[in-house]
Structure formats: structure tokens, C-alpha cells
Structure 1
Amino acid sequence: MSGPAQDRFDRLRLIRSPNVGPVAYRQLIARFGSAGQALSAIPDLAARGGARAFRGADERAVAAEWQAVERLGGRHIFLGDADYPALLEEAGAAPPVLMAMGALPLDGRPLVAMVGARNASAAACRFARQLAQDVGARGGVTVSGLARGIDTAAHMGSLSTGTVAAIGCGLDVFFPPENAALQERIAAEGLLLTEHPPGTEPLARHFPARNRIIAWMAQGTVVVEAAPRSGSLLTARLAGEEGREVMAVPGFPLDPRAQGCNALIRDGATLVQSAEDIFESVGRIGGGLFRQPRATYAGPPPADLVEAERRQITGLLSMAPVVVDEIIRLSGASAGAVQTALLELEIAGRLQRHAGGRVSLLD
């Protein structure tokens, strides 16, 4: 293997290496220029961060994953690839790789996320299906999570015009089981996305991560029925944090399934009664329906550290999350130096990254 094929294999090896999360992946590529160079450098980075030993991803396991995806008729899409969702790529913590089935073109089409209760009412499911159908009739693509209830209705309404399903398991796992036929249709007629290798089961911890794919790849998120503290509200929050439009369908105040949507509207979300409301809302983003993603590997410039800087930066960290910009200000070091120190700690398994650009020590 050589050339572009080797580079793509190296990227997958880097992604599957221990402690290489989305932020670390971008920074490693920015610093070393290629996944192959980064793989050669990370044992030394881990040692500087305090790790006693570092073992990268097993090449045989990575090769097996690659072959399994190809056998399913899928493909790996990496950050920087032309078919990686443009707005998703804009998010700093976007998955470095997605596994995909289907060939639905997304360029030039508005993407609208639609989520809601699994135990949704019949009226809400009917409304979600019609709303997704109307979004498609106006040229849009509906994005959802293939869950029971509102997600299923949204996909059914948009199958003929364009639908994207982000799932929290492998491409070869059907969840929920009753949606197996729908999942196969989306893989054939729309686009099925996951960040998990084949065989990965739908564990509870996978779904918040799946929600960020749904929220971040769309111009806006519409919530149709949601109880307080539901996964749908998490998706709406993720959308808002990335500057996407948050929209909600109002419901009857005494129905617990409407309380989340009504609360979103009370807090400033756009009230949605039709597809026209959706397109009017997402049209306000950046003055139009589309935005250009920022540079794929927008990381700090390479910066070498002296030991005194490393100790000073590490000394400012604790198990309480702190914003990276605050570390830069307090340390007086350059942004590149601080990011390098944080990268070393992360590769060593000593640093945890949190939402909002915050970091904390794990030990």
C-alpha cells in the first residue's frame, strides 16, 4: 500500500489510536502534516505528557475494520474529503471519520435536523412526517437519528426527497430492530452515517455523540415533542452552541411530551408551524442558507516547549474544567505552546476535553 491509499489507512490508524480524540486528531495533522508523521511522533508526545508507554492502534484491527466496511458496501469519509458534511466539518469536535452507506449528494441543499420523543403521540408523528415531506418539496434534506417515534416519522416523510440517518451503532447493526427495513432503505436511497466500526452495539453512551452529528451537520434543528431533560433537548442545545438555529413545535401545556418544546420556545427558539417557518429561520444564518466551512485543520502552529513552560502550563490545570484561553492568558505562553502541552497530556491519557473549549486533568 502506498500513496493516497496508505495515507487514508494511516488516518484511520491515527483515529483508532488510544487518547486521540477529535481535537487531538486535528492538532496532530496540523502539527505534523500527515497521519503517518503523526503516528511516528505520538509515542514521544505521550512520553512528554507523562505516559510510561504508548501503543498505537493495531494495524490488523484497522485493516479488518476497513475490509468490514467495504464488505457492507460502505466507505470511510474523513475530515477534508469532498463528501464530508460541510457544516459538520466546521465544528471543532466533529468526528474525524464517518462510515457511510448511500450516495445522497448534500452540496447546495439546506439540511434540517428533526428530532423528538420516542413515545410521540400519533398527531405529532403525523405532523413530523408531513413537515419532513414539505421540507423535501422545497429542496431540503431531513437529518434525524432513526429512533422510534418522531425520528422514524421524519425519515418516512423525506425518503423520496432526501433523508440522512445518523446512528449510534455499526452500519451492520439494526436499532431499533423494527426499523431494519427503513435503515436498509435509507442506506440505498438516502445516506446512513455513523462514527462507530461495524459490529458496534447501540450502547447508551453512543447516543449523545450521535446527537452532535445530527445537530452540527444541519443549518437548524426542529424539535417535535420532547420531555424535559430528553435527548432531543440535548440535540437542540448542541445545535445552539454551534450557532445553528433552534426551532420547536408548540404543544398542549398539560402533555409532558410538549413541555420540552414549549420551554425551548419560551427561551427563544423559533416557533414552527410549517416548513415555511423553518426556511425563514435557517435563512437568517450567515445571511443565507449556506455557510462555507472553515479550514479543515485550523490548529495552532507547531510550537516546541521548554520544560519550564510545560511545568507552568501543567501547574495551572486541575480536575476542575477551565477554558483553554484562560490557560493561555495566565501562563503568558503562546497559543501554540499551550496547545502542544495540552496535546501531550491528552495523548498520555491525563487530560479530558469538555464542551465549550474547556479542559481538566484526569489525575
Structure 2
Amino acid sequence: MEQRKNQKVNLDSLGPTVLSAEEKINWIRLSRAEPIGPITFFELIQRYGSAGKALDDLPEITFKGNYKRKFKIPTIEEASQELEEHHRIKADLIAFSESDYPEILRHIADPPPLISILGDRKSLQKQALAIVGARNASLNGCHFSQKLATELGSYGYQIVSGLARGIDTSAHQGALKSGTIAVLAGGIDHIYPRENRELYYSVAEQGVIIAESPFGTIPQASFFPRRNRIIAGLSLGVIIIEAAKQSGSLVTARFALEQGREVFVVPGSPLDPRSYGANMLIRQGATLIQNTDDIISGVENLGKIKPVLKQQEKKPESQENSSFNKENNAKMQQHILDLLSISPIGVDEIIRECHFSTAEVMLALLELELAGRIHRHPGGQISLKG
């Protein structure tokens, strides 16, 4: 199956290192600020060198982008409280720039700046495979999921899944002895579904639980695709067992392809609606698998995941702004808005249409995004915010 490539910010200079207590709090504040997503966060870090300096300049940046609403940034006290709440349940917050952050996750297009972890953090540095599938899975599907997880664990692979009902639950259960990683859609303290409470604590004790959402966040439907990108991002490959036409597992498969991962699919009966999406992936070129050996032969040559794009060279600050002023910035922002519609187009295309340097265009895009006037899409695309 053809693997897609996403535009990616050059993050090599950000890790691994040790953040000071003050800068850790600043990372929490910046990453939790209302309009800031992962890509924007790292663009700010690259431009200003630290979260603290970026926070100092946010009011000016949003003013330039004509941001109309009050900009919501957590206070130092609120960020400190979130860190304390993690420690209260023996969890921790790991920043992208810290050594415990999963190496493989660093190389996706939009890695989370911070992840909450509960359990054995060393598990995050081991090679892993994801197993995902239907929540209303068949008994045979659950048995096969558990069998694959156990056998792949015997080969030394951690098993990643989403702690959901059905296939996810069986995968975690099969991998408890060898190591498993559960990725949550809500905060690290919110067990979902509640029926998996016992499994949650078993995974925390024998593996590791991670979450991108802030502590205390109740999972919502829109959070699950973000969760799925992390499941794929932590894995060398994704194994699909029973996926219906509109299954969230298909979203995980799409992220896997965009991140350069392998997609393996267990075929199902054409008479079973739970197999429609899985069989469709096979028709589109995913690797059909029937046993553990099929998976092992498919991943043994993958090795370490590499960054998916050549990194861009960063110009010195003085060169970026030497011929730029507020009037030019305002004109360029309007020109960019005139070029955009609600249909996404590539950032590279915008840069070609503007008569300014790449750095200046990227700064204008950053200001417009923080002002809530444009929306960023996967694959380096942007559109007007609808």
C-alpha cells in the first residue's frame, strides 16, 4: 500500500535535553493555550528558541493577525497544578525535548509537544506494533487479536492500542505479560470505557498508559482521531482486525500511511459488515496477513523509522526580517487570505504565489492561524477557517 508523506517541521534541535522547572511550566502553558496546536507550537519554539519567549510575544503576534477574541493562556499556577495532579497519581508529563519522549513519535508530522505517561516509561523506547479494530468485534476476532498480541510479544514487540472495547481490549490482554501501551483520547486520569477500569490499572502496572489531552479532560468524539495518530506514530506497523465502512481503525490506517508505517490487515467474510473496511484496505494494497509470521516477515526489514521529509534550512533572524515591515506584513496577510478558500491548498503553493521570503510567509501564516483566521490541515495544507 502506498505510503504518503506529510510536511514536517525541523525539530532536531529540540532534543533530547533537560528542561528547567520554569521552562517545563512554560511548555505546559504554551501547549495548552487555546488556539495553539502541535505544529504551531513547534513553529513558535523554533522561532523564539523557548516557550517562555514565545509566551512573551504572543500578544503582539495575535495582534498582527487581527485576533478578535481574548487569547486564553493558562496561568503559571494552573500549569503548576496540572503537573502536581500528574504526580499525585504517580504519572508524569514528558516534553518532546526530553530523553524519555518516544524516539519514534518524534518523527511524525505533528508530534504532541507533551504527553502524559503512567507506568513504565522505558516501554516507550522499545519497538512496537499496533493492533486496532472493531469495538463490537466478533468472538473469533477477539481471540485472534489476543493470540497475535501474545505471539508478537514473544518476539519482543510492545503492543499499542487504544483501550477501547473489542479488539483493543483483547490486544492489551494478550500483551500484558510482554508489554503493552494504551493511548487514551482524554486525560491520563479518565478511564474510558469505564468497564476497562481493571485493564487500565493492569496496563499501568505492566506496561504504560499515555495521553495527549490535558489532565482532567473528558474524552470527546473529536479527540479520537488525534489519539489514533499517536497509536500509529508509536508503531512500526498497524494491524487491522475487523473494521467497518466508517471505522475509526481506517483513520488509524490513514495516519499510518502518512507517517510511513506499514499497514497489515486480517481479511474477513464479505458477509460481515465488520469486515467491509478491512477488506477495502486490502483491495487498496494493504498487506494481507493470516498469522504472526506474515507480520514478522513484513516488519523485520523496516528498522528504525526515519523522518519523512528533508528538513528546511533555517535562516538567521536578521536575514528573515531585513526588508520586512508592518505595512508589508499586513499586505501579505491580505494577499494570503485572498488566495485561500474553504478548500485546503498546500503551503508551498502559497509561498510560490507570494513575493516574499519563505520565512516571512511562514510568519504571516503563523499570525493568521493564531488569530483564528486560517485552519491547518494534515499534509502541509491550509484553508480559510469556516
| TM-score normalised over the length of structure 1 | 0.93
Shift of residue 12 of structure 1? Answer: 0.6
2:223 to 187, 192, 206: 206
Shift of residue 263 of structure 1? Answer: 1.0
* Aligned residue in 2 for 1:322: 345
Moved more, 269-278 or 30-39: 269-278
* Aligned residue in 1 for 2:5: none
Distance 1:315 1:300 in 2: 27
Shift of residue 70 of structure 1? Answer: 1.1
The 5 A counterparts of 1:174-323 are: 174-285=191-302, 289-292=303-306, 301=315, 302=317, 303-304=320-321, 305-306=324-325, 307-308=327-328, 309-323=332-346
* Aligned residue in 2 for 1:355: 378
> Match of 2:20, SS?
helix
Closer/same/farther in 2, CA of residues 333 and 344 from structure 1, 3 Å limit: same
Supply the AA of the counterpart residue of 2:174. Answer: G
Closer/same/farther in 2, CA of residues 326 and 293 from structure 1, 3 Å limit: closer
Closer/same/farther in 2, CA of residues 217 and 108 from structure 1, 3 Å limit: closer
* Aligned residue in 2 for 1:153: 170
Is the contact between residue 104 and residue 189 of structure 1 (CA under 8 Å) also seen in structure 2? no
Distance 1:294 1:251 in 2: 32
Distance 1:300 1:325 in 2: 16
Shift of residue 319 of structure 1? Answer: 2.7
* Aligned residue in 2 for 1:96: 113
2:161 to 144, 151, 162: 144
> Match of 1:252, SS?
coil
Distance 1:70 1:33 in 2: 28
Distance 1:149 1:208 in 2: 18
* Aligned residue in 2 for 1:167: 184
* Aligned residue in 2 for 1:21: 37
1:38 aligns with 2:61: no
Distance 1:66 1:85 in 2: 20
Is the contact between residue 86 and residue 292 of structure 1 (CA under 8 Å) also seen in structure 2? no
Is the contact between residue 259 and residue 308 of structure 2 (CA under 8 Å) also seen in structure 1? no
Closer/same/farther in 2, CA of residues 298 and 216 from structure 1, 3 Å limit: farther
**Count of residues paired in the alignment:** 357
> Match of 1:213, SS?
helix
Distance 1:225 1:294 in 2: 29
Shift of residue 101 of structure 1? Answer: 0.4
Q: What is the percent sequence identity of the aligned residues?
A: 42
Shift of residue 331 of structure 1? Answer: 1.2
1:65 aligns with 2:77: no
Supply the AA of the counterpart residue of 2:375. Answer: Q
Supply the AA of the counterpart residue of 1:229. Answer: Q
Distance 2:56 2:102 in 1: 29
Supply the AA of the counterpart residue of 2:40. Answer: A
* Aligned residue in 1 for 2:65: 49
Distance 1:291 1:242 in 2: 9
Q: Deviations over 1:151-191 (max 9, x none)?
A: 00000011111100001112222211111011011112101
> Match of 2:122, SS?
coil
Shift of residue 82 of structure 1? Answer: 1.3
Distance 2:225 2:72 in 1: 28
